[in-house]
A and B are shown apart, each in its own frame.
Chain A
Amino acid sequence: MDKQKRIPIIPLKQKLFTVGVLVVVLSLYAAASIFTGSSPARFMNGIPEMFNFIINDLIPPNWSYYERVFPALLETWNIALLSTSLAVVFSLPISFLAAGNINKKLWLYHPVRFALNVLRTIPDMILAVMFVAIVGLGALAGVYALFFFSLGILIKLISETVEAIDPGPLEAIRATGGNILQIIWFGALPQILPQYVSYSLYVLEINVRASLVLGFVGAGGIGLILKQQMSLFNYGNIAMIIFITFIGVTIIDTLSTSLRKRLV
Chain B
Amino acid sequence: MIEFRNVSLTYPNGHQGLKNINLSINDGEFVVIVGLSGAGKSTLIRSINQMVKPTAGELLIGGENTLKYSDRKLRQFRRNIGMIFQNYNLVKRSSVLRNVLAGRLGHTGTLRSILSLFSQADVRLALESLERVGIADKAYQRADQLSGGQQQRVSIARALTQQPKLILADEPVASLDPPTSHAVMKDLKRINQEDNITMIVNLHAIDLSMQYADRIIGLRNGEVVFDGPAASVSEKTFEDIYGRPIKEDDLVGDVSNG
> How many angstroms between the C-alpha atoms of A14 and B97 in the bound complex?
14
User: B11: CB under 8 A from chain A?
Assistant: no
User: B77: CB under 8 A from chain A?
Assistant: no
B127 touches A11 (CB 8 A): no
- B127 contacts across to A, CB distance below 8 A: 1, 7
Provide the A253-264 mask, 1 if CB < 8 A to any CB of B, else 0. 000000000000
A7 touches B140 (CB 8 A): no
A7 touches B123 (CB 8 A): yes
> How many angstroms between the C-alpha atoms of A87 and B101 in the bound complex?
56
Interface size band for A = under 10
User: B145: CB under 8 A from chain A?
Assistant: no
The residue of chain A having its C-beta at the shortest distance from the C-beta of B118 within the complex is A9
> How many angstroms between the C-alpha atoms of A10 and B123 in the bound complex?
11
User: B107: CB under 8 A from chain A?
Assistant: no
- A6 contacts across to B, CB distance below 8 A: 120
Interface residues of B, count at CB 8 A: 12
> How many angstroms between the C-alpha atoms of A12 and B128 in the bound complex?
21
**In the complex, how many residue pairs between chain A and chain B have their CB atoms under 8 Å apart?**
20
Provide the B83-124 mask, 1 if CB < 8 A to any CB of A, else 0. 000000000000101100100000000000000101010011
A9 touches B98 (CB 8 A): yes
> How many angstroms between the C-alpha atoms of A14 and B124 in the bound complex?
20
B101 touches A9 (CB 8 A): yes
Provide the A1-24 mask, 1 if CB < 8 A to any CB of B, else 0. 101001101110010000000000
B120 touches A7 (CB 8 A): yes
- B128 contacts across to A, CB distance below 8 A: 1
- B118 contacts across to A, CB distance below 8 A: 9
- A9 contacts across to B, CB distance below 8 A: 97-98, 101, 116, 118, 123
- A7 contacts across to B, CB distance below 8 A: 120, 123-124, 127
B116 touches A10 (CB 8 A): yes
> How many angstroms between the C-alpha atoms of A9 and B99 in the bound complex?
11
> How many angstroms between the C-alpha atoms of A11 and B123 in the bound complex?
13
> How many angstroms between the C-alpha atoms of A14 and B141 in the bound complex?
11
Name which of A1, A6, A9, A10 has the most chain B CB atoms within 10 A of its CB.
A9
- B123 contacts across to A, CB distance below 8 A: 7, 9
B210 to nearest A CB, angstroms? Answer: 38
Selected contact of A11 from candidates B116, B120, B140, CB within 8 Å: B140
Name which of A1, A7, A14 has the most chain B CB atoms within 10 A of its CB.
A7
Can you pick out 20 interface pairs between chain A and chain B where the beta carbons lie within 8 Å of each other? Answer: A1-B124, A1-B127, A1-B128, A3-B124, A6-B120, A7-B120, A7-B123, A7-B124, A7-B127, A9-B97, A9-B98, A9-B101, A9-B116, A9-B118, A9-B123, A10-B95, A10-B98, A10-B116, A11-B140, A14-B140
Q: A7-B120, A9-B98, A10-B98 are in contact. List 17 more A-B contacts (CB 8 A).
A: A1-B124, A1-B127, A1-B128, A3-B124, A6-B120, A7-B123, A7-B124, A7-B127, A9-B97, A9-B101, A9-B116, A9-B118, A9-B123, A10-B95, A10-B116, A11-B140, A14-B140
Nearest first, the 5 A-B pairs at minimum CB distance are A7-B123, A11-B140, A9-B116, A9-B97, A9-B123
Interface of A toward B, CB cutoff 8 Å: 1, 3, 6-7, 9-11, 14
